[in-house]
């Protein structure tokens, strides 16, 4: 096994974006790809590490860029400022996600009939919106993602299977939002799964999350269980 890493510059309109991707070059055939959508911080080392781990599983891990080449938030205020335009304009968010999807399809190592997406926090919302837009992908995984739907997807057929991995006590995804999301997926006739982890709040996959007052705390058991659930999901949808 030899994990190869690189970056690729791509565009959404006139915005220059830069993704990080990784794959195992011991394989010569095309393989499935997984888009990885970052938290509100931007494309950081956290998602790059996930790309490497996906490469070790036999996929192309593609850590996409929502904000622009080299743009990262340094604190809560900057993160919120970077995320807010996409929260206010979900069509813009969906277009930015589609730019990443179009780019990953062009990579020579990728089987473009087998693409999925996963995301964390804000990134979870991003991959759910990609599915809601009707994108032709196999599935999406939301890790402690924001769940509320956009207003511009009425009538779209969701083609992707959905796996949402969620902390039961997440203050950014309250029980009523969970029920609304599950009802949304049911009414849309989606193949969906929703896993709730007890005694778990937001950002449970991030080892540096340790802010109980903000509702973001790492939970090692939930992190491990969620990653296993993700692996099983990808094995199923890429079969």
Q: Can you tell me the mean pLDDT for 165-184?
A: 97
Q: Can you tell me the mean pLDDT for 68-97?
A: 98
* Helices 76-88 and 122-132, axial angle in degrees (round to 10): 10
The whole-number pLDDT of residue 156 equals 87
Q: Can you tell me the mean pLDDT for 38-45?
A: 98
What is the CB neighbour count within 10 angstroms for residue 179?
12
How far CA 1 is from CA of 4, 24, 52, in Å, comes to 10, 6, 12
Q: Can you tell me the mean pLDDT for 104-108?
A: 98
- Asked if 86 and 55 touch (Cβ cutoff 8 Å), the reply is no
The whole-number pLDDT of residue 154 equals 77
For the chain, list the domains and their CATH numbers.
Answer: 3-237 (3.40.50.1820)
Q: Can you tell me the mean pLDDT for 10-23?
A: 98
Q: Nearest to residue 41, comparing CAs of 208, 199, 177, 234?
A: 208
What is the CB neighbour count within 10 angstroms for residue 82?
19
What is the CB neighbour count within 10 angstroms for residue 18?
17
Q: Nearest to residue 91, comparing CAs of 150, 139, 24?
A: 150
The whole-number pLDDT of residue 238 equals 98
Residue-by-residue DSSP string for 193-224: EEEEETT--BTTT-TT-EETTTTEE--HHHHH
Q: How far is CA 71 from the centre of its chain?
A: 18
The mean pLDDT of the chain is 97
pLDDT digits (tens, 9 = 90+) for 118-173: 999 999 999 999 999 999 999 999 999 999 999 988 778 999 999 999 999 999 99
């Amino acid at each position: 096994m030899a994990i190869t890493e690189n970056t690729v510059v791509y565009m959404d309109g006139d915005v220059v974006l830069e993704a990080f991707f990784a794959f195992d070059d011991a394989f010569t055939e095309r393989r499935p790809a997984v888009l990885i959508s970052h938290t509100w911080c931007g494309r950081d080392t956290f998602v790059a590490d996930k790309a490497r781990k996906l490469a070790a599983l036999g996929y192309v891990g593609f850590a996409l860029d929502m904000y622009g080449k080299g743009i990262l938030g340094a604190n809560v205020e900057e993160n919120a400022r970077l995320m807010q335009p996409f929260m206010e304009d979900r069509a813009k968010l969906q277009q930015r996600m589609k730019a990443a999807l179009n780019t990953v399809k062009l990579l020579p190592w990728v089987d473009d009939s087998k693409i999925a997406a996963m995301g964390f926090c804000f990134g979870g919302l991003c991959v759910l919106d990609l599915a809601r837009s009707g994108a032709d992908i196999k599935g999406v995984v939301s890790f402690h993602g924001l769940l509320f739907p956009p207003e511009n997807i009425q009538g779209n057929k969701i083609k992707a299977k959905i796996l949402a991995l969620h902390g039961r006590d997440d203050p950014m995804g309250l029980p009523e939002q969970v029920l609304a999301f599950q009802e949304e997926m049911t009414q849309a006739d989606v193949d969906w799964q929703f896993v709730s982890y007890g005694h778990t709040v937001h950002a449970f996959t991030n080892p540096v999350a340790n802010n109980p007052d903000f509702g973001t705390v790492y939970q090692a058991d939930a992190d491990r269980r969620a990653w296993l659930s993700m692996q099983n999901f990808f094995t199923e949808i890429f079969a």
